[in-house]
Structure 1
Amino acid sequence: MNCRHAILQHTVWIALVLFACTTQAQPLYKGEPVPKAQAAQATWIWYPGDFEIWLANNMQNRRTERGSFFPPFWKLDGHYVLMDFHKDVELTEPEVIDVYVEGKYILKLDGKGFEGTPSHVTIPAGKHRINVKVFSAGTVPAIYVKGKTIASDSSWLVTFEDKEWIDETGKTSDVSATVWLNAGSWNFNEPAQRPSTFKLATKPQSAASVTKNNGSLLVDFGKETFGYIRLHGLQGKGKVSLYYGESKEEALATGTCETLDRVDVNASSKMDSVMVLTKAFRYVNVQAEGGVTLDSISMLYEYLPVENRGSFRCSDTGINKIWDVAAYTMHLSTREFFIDGIKRDRWIWSGDAYQSYLMNYYLFFDVPTVNRTLMALRGKDPVTSHINTIMDYTFYWFLGIYDLYQYTGDKTFIQQFYPRMQSMMEYCLSRRNKDGMMQGLSGDWIFIDWAPGLSKKGEVSFEQMLFCRSLETMALCANMVNDTKNETLYKQLAADMRSKLFSIYWNESKHALVHSRVDGKPTDNVTRYANMFGIFFNYFNEEQKQAVKQNVLLNDKIQKITTPYMRFYELEALCAMGEQKYVLNEMKNYWGGMLKAGATSFWEEYDPSKSGADHYSMYGRPFGKSLCHAWGASPIYLLGKYYLGVQPTSPGYATWTAEPVLGGLQWMEGKVPTPHGDISVYCSTTQIKIKGAVGTGTLRFRSQSKPSSKSGAITSKGGNVYEMTVEAGKDYEIKYKS
Structure 2
Amino acid sequence: MGWKITGGALLSLVCMCAHGAPTQRVDERPVEISRTPAGIYVVDFGRVAFGNLRLTAPASGTVTVHFGEASKDDRIDRKPPQTVRYNTASVELKANTAVVAAPPVDKRNTDIASPKHPPAILTPDEWGVVMPFRWVEIEGWTGALTPDQIVRQSVFAATWDDAAASFESSDAMLDRIWELCRYSIKATTFAGVYVDGDRERIPYEADAYLNQLSHYYTDFDKQMARDTFDRLMEYPTWPTEWAPHMVFMAHADWMHTGDADWLKPRYEALKTKTLMERRGADGLVASDAKDIKRDDIIDWPVGERDGYVRTGVNTVVNAFHIRSLEMMAELARAVGRNKEAGEFDSLAHASRERFQKTLFDAETGLFRDGAETDHTALHANLFPLAFGLVPQEARAAMAGWLAQRGMRCSVYAAQYLMEALFENGADEQALELILAENDRSWRHMVESGTTITWEAWDHKYKSNQDWNHAWGAAPANLLPRYVLGVEPLAPGWKTARIRPCVGGLEFAKGQVPTPRGAVRVAWKKPAPDRFSLSIVLPQGMDARVELPFVWETGGILCNGRPVKATPVGDRWVVDQAVEGTAVFEVRKN
Q: Into which bin does the TM-score normalised by the smaller protein fall?
A: 0.7 to 0.9
1:674 is aligned to 514
1:220-256 C-alpha deviation (Å, 9 max, x unpaired) = 3232222112344397777846353344487321897
Among 358, 382, 385, the alignment partner of 2:213 is: 358
Q: CA deviation at 1:711?
A: 4.8
Q: What letter corresponds to residue 532 of structure 1 in structure 2?
A: L
Q: Is the 8 A contact 2:67 2:133 kept in 1?
A: no
Cα separation, 2, equivalents of 1:576 and 1:730: 26
**Which residue number in structure 2 is paired with residue 273 of structure 1?**
99
Provide the residue aligned with 1:121 in structure 2: none
Determine whether 1:498 maps to 2:352. Answer: yes
Match of 1:514 in 2: 368
> How many angstroms does 1:454 deviate by?
4.6
Aligned counterpart, 1:403: 252
Q: How does 1:196-595 map to 2 (within 5 A)?
A: 199-206=23-30, 208-212=32-36, 217-233=41-57, 240=64, 242-248=66-72, 251-253=77-79, 259=85, 261=87, 263=89, 272-274=98-100, 275=102, 276-286=128-138, 296=145, 297-304=150-157, 305-307=159-161, 308-379=163-234, 387-425=236-274, 428-432=275-279, 437-439=285-287, 445-449=295-299, 450-452=301-303, 454-484=308-338, 486-517=340-371, 522-555=372-405, 560-589=407-436, 590-595=441-446
The answer to whether the 8 Å contact 2:558/2:582 transfers is no
Per-residue deviation at 1:483?
3.3
Query: Is structure 2 residue 487 aligned with structure 1 residue 642?
Result: no
Q: Which residue of 1 aligns with 2:470?
A: 630
Instruction: Rate the CA distance shift 1:328–1:439 in 2: closer, same or farther, 3 A.
Output: same
CA contact (8 A) 1:692 1:726 kept: no
Report the alpha carbon displacement of residue 284 of structure 1 after superposing the two structures with TM: 3.5
Change beyond 3 A, Cα 1:475–1:441: farther
Residue 605 of structure 1, CA deviation: 1.5
Q: Which amino acid aligns with 2:287?
A: Q
Q: Is the 8 A contact 1:471 1:491 kept in 2?
A: yes
CA distance in 2, matches of 1:734, 1:338: 43
Task: Measure, in 2, the Cα distance between the counterparts of 1:413 and 1:245.
Answer: 39
CA–CA separation in structure 2 for the residues paired with 1:207 and 1:664: 36
Match of 1:692 among 509, 527, 537: 537
- Give the Cα–Cα distance (whole angstroms) in 1 for the partners of residues 533 and 420 of structure 2: 25
Tell me which residue corresponds to 2:449: 598
Aligned to 2:498: 658
8 Å Cα contact 2:378/2:405 also seen in 1: no
Q: Do the aligned residues in 2 keep the contact of 1:233 with 1:294 (CA within 8 Å)? A: no
| CA deviation after TM superposition for structure 1 residue 391, in Å | 1.6
Q: Which structure 1 residue ranges, 5 or more long, are not aligned?
A: 1-50, 57-185, 187-197, 381-386, 608-614
Structure 2 residues not aligned, in runs of 5+: 1-15, 103-127
Residue pair 1:200, 1:336 contacting (<8 A) in 2 also: no
Counterpart-to-counterpart distance in 2, 1:210 and 1:515: 55
3-state SS in 1 of match to 2:521: strand
Larger mean Cα displacement after TM superposition, 666-675 or 487-496: 487-496
Q: Secondary structure of 1:312's match?
A: strand
CA pair 494-735 structure 1, distance change in 2 beyond 3 A:
closer
Q: CA deviation at 1:666?
A: 1.4
1-structure distance, mates of 2:69, 2:523: 42
The C-alpha deviation readout for 1:356-405, integer Å capped at 9, x for no partner, is 2222232213211221121111128xxxxxx2222211111111111211
Which secondary structure state, in structure 1, belongs to the residue aligned with residue 523 of structure 2? strand
Cα distance in structure 1, aligned partners of 2:428 and 2:45: 36
* Cα deviation 1:429-473 (Å, max 9, x = unaligned): 334568652426759633332241555453321111111111222
Deviation per residue, 1:472-526 (Å, 9 max, x gap): 2223222333335543443333233223322222123432111134xxxx21221
3-state DSSP class of the match of 1:491?
helix
Whole-angstrom CA distance in 1 between matches of 2:420 and 2:346? 27
Give the direction of change, closer, same or farther, for the CA distance of 1:344–1:336 in structure 2 (3 Å limit).
closer
Count how many residue pairs are aligned between Structure 1 and Structure 2: 518
Residue 119 of structure 2 corresponds to which residue in structure 1? none
Note the alpha carbon deviations across 1:71-127, whole angstroms, 9 max, x for none: xxxxxxxxxxxxxxxxxxxxxxxxxxxxxxxxxxxxxxxxxxxxxxxxxxxxxxxxx
- Larger-Rg structure: 1
Deviation at 1:718, TM superposition (A): 4.1
Q: Which amino acid aligns with 1:578?
A: G
> 1:332, CA displacement in angstroms?
0.9
Partner residue, 1:159:
none
2:332 maps to a residue whose letter is: A
What is the root-mean-square deviation of aligned Cα atoms in Å?
3.3
Q: State the SS of the aligned residue for 2:19.
A: helix
Residues 233 and 295 in structure 1, CA contact (< 8 A), matched pair in contact too: no
Contact 1:234–1:272 under 8 Å retained in 2:
no
2:196, 2:203 within 8 Å by CA — same for their partners in 1?
no
Whose helix fraction is larger, Structure 1's or Structure 2's? 2
Percent identity of paired positions between Structure 1 and Structure 2: 22
Distance between the aligned counterparts of 1:268 and 1:540, measured in 2?
67
Indicate conservation of the 8 Å contact 1:691/1:726, yes or no: no
Q: 1:278 to 1:238 in 2, by over 3 A?
A: same
Asked if the contact 1:232/1:272 (under 8 Å) is kept, the reply is: yes
C-alpha offsets along residues 522-576 of structure 1, whole Å, 9 cap, x if unaligned? 21221222412222322222222133223344236xxx42532222211211111
Distance 1:282 1:266 in 2: 22
Letter in 2 for 1:528: L
User: 1:345 and 1:692, CA in 2 relative to 1: closer, same or farther beyond 3 A?
Assistant: same
Number of the residue aligned with 2:110: none
